Amino acid sequence: MITKMHHLLENSSILVVDDSVETLKIIGELLKKEFAIKVATNGEMALKIAQSNTPPDLVLLDIMLPDINGYEVCKELKKNPETEVIPVIFLTAKNEVEDEARGLGVGAADYIIKPIYPAILMARVKNHLLMKKMHDLLISKL
């Protein structure tokens, strides 16, 4: 069963959105062994990538961005029929309960507080990617 699930994750792409080059480097190094990585340093760039002809399978999104904040980026993704099924995981230093509730309220699938713990990030990314791939598979069968 694990090999079948792993097979579903092959060729998955992740969009990492953060204005910190250091964070992008750390996350990229962690995930690039198993996934194709796309990066954006602001909300506008993230929306362009997500709404392109090759959208990501998952978005890791910081809340504090230089132009459009992560909450607004997530709202835009969720109101667009082309991108609404892309899981968004907030990856942020905002650690108040209200911040997490707001993030989940705008449509995020998960909320991870920095600093990240690689094993936890990887497990959550794989879980949400697997759910999306199963959703896509189910939709394709209808």
> For 27-55, b where at least 16 C-beta lie within 10 A, e where not — what string?
beebbeebbebbbbbbbebbbebbeeeeb
Q: Is residue 2 part of a domain?
A: no
Q: Is residue 19 part of a domain?
A: yes
Q: Is residue 139 part of a domain?
A: no
Q: Is residue 36 part of a domain?
A: yes
Q: Is residue 4 part of a domain?
A: no
Residue 119's domain comprises 9-133
Q: Is residue 110 part of a domain?
A: yes
Please count the structural domains in the chain: 1
Q: Is residue 18 part of a domain?
A: yes
- Tens-digit pLDDT profile for the chain (142 aa)? 455 666 778 889 999 999 999 999 999 999 999 999 999 999 999 999 999 999 999 999 999 999 999 999 999 999 999 999 999 999 999 999 999 999 999 999 999 999 999 999 999 999 999 999 999 889 888 7
| Spatial contact of 93 and 70, defined as CB atoms under 8 Å apart | no
pTM: 0.94
CATH number for the domain spanning 116: value is 3.40.50.2300
13: which strand partners?
36
88: which strand partners?
59
CB neighbours of residue 7 within 10 Å:
10
Q: Is residue 141 part of a domain?
A: no
